[in-house]
Amino acid sequence: MPSSIDGRDGDDESNVHVARRGPASQVQVPEPMNHEWIWIEDGQFNNQKTSARIIGLNLKHMWLDAWDSWKDVSYEHRLTLFERFKCYFQWEEKWNTDILRYWEKCIAGKFPDLLNRVRMDTKEAARIQGFQVGDDFSVLEDFKPSWIRSET
């Protein structure tokens, strides 16, 4: 059964729901007739919080490799992530280039924030279990989220 998305990413969108399954939460894909209309307005998505939330959740759900930065994500994986984004929204054809460009900017910006949050949460979990982290991040391996792969 879906549950409301929590506000951990700083985006509070109570009308978006998450399905709990697999290695990470996945936002339920709406029926095509219910895809929300989006466009670029004032240099961002008109529904920035919802779009950013979907991008972040899809990124976690579709984390396919041991990526350290957005530059590490292959073209094929980027395309897969964008195709998934398109399952939630619709837009006029004239917006194709702008939507893709801004999606790329948004996901590239979310990447370091997401990894930083994972590092902080993982360090805290290790600390609570009595581990000294310091500069040795290898002790964090057992505390990382299941959706983060260490190797391909």
3-state secondary structure 89-113: EECCHHHHHHHHHHHHHHHHHHHHH
Span 113-128, pLDDT tens digits: 888 888 888 888 888 8
Contacts with 96 (C-beta within 8 Å, 6 or more apart), sequence order: none
Say what the pLDDT of residue 105 is: 94
Say what the pLDDT of residue 92 is: 94
Say what the pLDDT of residue 145 is: 76
- Identity of the residue numbered 9: D
Confirm if 133 and 140 have CB atoms less than 8 A apart.
Answer: yes
Span 60-77, pLDDT tens digits: 888 877 788 899 999 999
Spans in the chain with pLDDT lower than 70 = 1-27, 135-137, 149-152
